[in-house]
Structure 1
């Protein structure tokens, strides 16, 4: 059994490493959007969001890390709206139930569900605010920021997402990663204050429409410029981490960026404002809970838990063996039965797919001689 599971863990591990290398600059853009969105919020929310800005920044990329590991995650990042014809926005119902009735859920999942998933994530965020669940508030805020940003990218709204249908392979990375890499530091990110949105689903669809209507420029300008400049000047080699990597030349990027006339910057700015406004609206719809008091309660609860769960060493005679009772964090390891949960954490309740380990009885552990000696029951691969 171990021989089967260990390679699986290693495969997932190296997949995540390679994924991070491939999407490193895309990660940068998502992290920048979440980070700056914090500063659109009112003081009543900054007490929580600014205090946790590093978490919101770092975890802005969690949905991308899950794309190839969690079933059902990928369609949440895009919608191939052009699959539905020349006038898709007149064809596809905005309400999920109406769209399912018209096209079936399988079809919708096959071609992307980003606007609907933004709306669903929003309802979860409102619930987290109402329940005073700080961990859920922060996690859901980081996630929804990612989905909103994706929904504002033109190439996340088409079946020709990487130019593979028009002989323009690589255009996705060019627009979403290379251009922000070269020019992003010079963008104007001052977008003003977050605004209350009374219809999140409508706002999500607005982002998709705006992005899709910009798609012709993305493809046409790249094609025109490639014909003008030639393939030999389109690419160059750059040294990255001691390796020569083929990439779009800075000369090509500069010309393309100029032709787009600020399009990438505009999409980034509107993404920032939308992310902040969605966070703000969720807080409003939850009744504007006092986040400062909520933080105090969390701190007080954690302090009490730490005092209660301090490491206790208690010697008991148990068939001639000494049994050591250890702290809660160590004992929690015994509850992890699923390799996926061990690598990624629990998924249930946050739109990450099927939960792991819930509703299943815990398997009894057999205490080994080594476990008795060290005072704990080791987590064994066959128990996962």
Structure 2
């Protein structure tokens, strides 16, 4: 047996041991006193910390959630103890980017939705109070982190501005001054606000010019990057994801939302482009998930006609993507991102009605980019991509032209 197969076998043994131990502890819950339940749930939460996606799916089934609901009904498990377990499940599920939906179809989900609706009607004035706590003890920070993470997963449900805007802006501003939140909590506050933006475009001004999204996202990416061991090979990492890496991925998701839907632009956002490039460079060898996120984000930035083309030139993205297209290891999705990036830049520089309204500046940019593309051999690369076009068409990207001249920035 090779070393890699031995490692897989060992991981499988550990996973089985975790799931079996979790199931044993869960079965024992309804026969314990409340204080004993708390101890067992703490042990269960420790096992959850070590689980991967497959283990999650095998344990947290619709039947398990229905059983928790039954135990609550029969008063063999208190709401307090059930919440101690469920909060940790939700927290780890989001932190590890695990997607499964068994809870949504359970009787426990129906009960909790009813409770939330009733509570909202009674206590609208108390929205988000837990997230406004300014106690900086580790326990309080974790409670706030969980509250904001839960809020960030509400999605784009319609919520009246008066129920959240003052509180969420206070949370963000207070952190900007006092740094009282964890990195995950701070990112979650922004994610909640961006979900509201989908329905309420008036938030753009608040996000960009009042709360300084570009500056804050850039700073967070830079600080998080310093905390990651980018040189560690993937096979040497723990099975569970590094928290900082997870938060970087979540920031990239929010930045994607910005470039996909926002029309405002300022110098802080130009700085954000540079921070994304730094994460790209750091992650390109060993963190494929983050690298893919950077590819997507920079492609979305090129799609947004309010993003200044000059920012891409200054931050070296033209050369960077040219280098990537020269790599035989570049996968199809990221090759497509590169292709779209250059296609969008090319089309924008051909249009006289782009945001680059100064004709002299537009021509200078065209010349500068063309020289970079020529210097890197990009024209030859694109001309050799006829085979790739068939992949593009099979995957539904039929709006990409088969005429390679469309990818150039000639007059």
Structure 1 and Structure 2 fold alike (TM over 0.5): no
- Shorter-chain TM-score: what band? under 0.3
Higher relative contact order (CA 8 A, sep 6+): 1
Q: Higher helix fraction: Structure 1 or Structure 2?
A: 2
Q: Higher strand fraction: Structure 1 or Structure 2?
A: 1
TM-score normalised by length of structure 2: 0.23
TM-score normalised by length of structure 1: 0.24
